[in-house]
């Protein structure tokens, strides 16, 4: 499975976006710009595939959702067809062994060559290690000759984005606005295109575009 483009309308903080997608995409934007929400759209589509397959094997299944408990730990719950008119909900603790095994199998099969979603993979890594992540991705994709996995990455890392193999059409810039977050392919931005043509790496051309406008004020935190 590979996404060639995505159109979102009234999804989370996006009023309307329509962008093309390459074999790998790097999402760059300030905190709370919607990078996780954008990636959630792919998770939602992946979960739909799993849910539709589960309905074939478990006809009583009406709905499969995810929720978090008081500690923030994610769990699954399912709604089954029931003698009550509104159906019955079960948590993952109530799922049968067969249902759990089937879910695990479907997830593994889908993740085998389906889109790989990574949120800020550079976290807690040495800068030099983070800088190698794009090449690691490229190596994995190269080894998958028949069907290379499509990869989506959200990042704030200049080390990760300094890789010369990252093309301008592989980077999406998210910009929060009063009318919802807008998404722009970096190659379509005239300023960025000019900077890249002058020899700057992607990291130096793109990241300043997403810099919080008053970030320097954080240095005065705690001062009266």
- pLDDT per residue as tens digits for the range 151-180: 899 999 999 999 999 999 999 999 999 999
In a domain, residue 140? The reply is: yes
> Could you tell me if 123 and 211 lie in one domain?
yes
Going by pLDDT thresholds of 50, 70 and 90, the confidence category of residue 108 is low
- The confidence score (pLDDT) of residue 44 equals 87
> Could you tell me if 119 and 179 lie in one domain?
yes
pLDDT of 76 above 90? no
pLDDT of 33 above 90? yes
- Domain limits for position 145: 5-35+115-216
Q: What contacts 39, CB < 8 A, 6 or more positions away?
A: 27, 117, 119, 152, 154
Q: Take residue 34 and report the two structure tokens written for it.
A: 């919607």
> Could you tell me if 135 and 210 lie in one domain?
yes
- The confidence score (pLDDT) of residue 112 equals 66
pLDDT of 82 above 80? no
> Could you tell me if 208 and 119 lie in one domain?
yes
Last residue of a domain, one of 88, 110, 132: 110
- The confidence score (pLDDT) of residue 109 equals 54
Beta carbons of 161 and 120 less than 8 angstroms apart? no
Number of domains in the chain: 2
Give counts: helices (H), strands (E), the chain: 7, 10
In a domain, residue 45? The reply is: no
Q: CA 159, CA 163: separation in Å to the nearest integer?
A: 8
Going by pLDDT thresholds of 50, 70 and 90, the confidence category of residue 13 is very high
Last residue of a domain, one of 61, 85, 110: 110
Beta carbons of 125 and 45 less than 8 angstroms apart? no
- The confidence score (pLDDT) of residue 207 equals 95
- The confidence score (pLDDT) of residue 86 equals 66
> Could you tell me if 9 and 88 lie in one domain?
no
- The confidence score (pLDDT) of residue 154 equals 95
> Could you tell me if 199 and 124 lie in one domain?
yes
Last residue of a domain, one of 91, 110, 129: 110
Mean pLDDT, residues 93-107 taken together: 78
Q: Which residue has the higher pLDDT, 3 or 17?
A: 17
CA angle 68, 53, 153 (to 5 degrees): 55
Of the candidates 138, 206, 129, 141, which has an alpha carbon nearest to the alpha carbon of residue 175? 206
């Amino acid at each position: 499975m590979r996404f060639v483009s995505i159109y979102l309308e009234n999804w989370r903080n996006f009023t309307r976006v329509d962008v093309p997608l390459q074999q790998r995409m790097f999402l760059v934007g300030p905190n709370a710009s919607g990078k996780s929400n954008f990636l959630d759209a792919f998770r939602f589509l992946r979960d739909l595939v799993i849910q539709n397959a589960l309905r074939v094997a478990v006809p009583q299944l009406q709905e499969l959702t995810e929720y978090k408990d008081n500690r923030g730990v994610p769990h699954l719950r399912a709604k089954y067809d029931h003698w009550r008119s509104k159906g019955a909900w079960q948590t993952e603790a109530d799922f049968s062994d067969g249902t759990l095994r089937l879910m695990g199998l479907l997830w593994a099969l889908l993740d085998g060559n389906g889109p790989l979603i990574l949120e800020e993979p550079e976290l807690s890594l040495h800068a030099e290690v983070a800088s190698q992540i794009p090449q690691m991705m490229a190596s994995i994709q190269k080894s998958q000759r028949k069907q290379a996995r499509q990869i989506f990455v959200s990042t704030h890392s200049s080390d990760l984005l300094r890789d010369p193999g990252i093309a301008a059409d592989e980077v999406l810039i998210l910009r929060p606005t009063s009318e919802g977050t807008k998404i722009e392919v970096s190659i379509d931005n005239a300023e960025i295109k000019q900077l890249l043509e002058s020899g700057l790496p992607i990291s130096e051309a793109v990241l300043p575009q997403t810099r919080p406008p008053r970030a320097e004020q954080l240095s005065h935190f705690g001062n009266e």
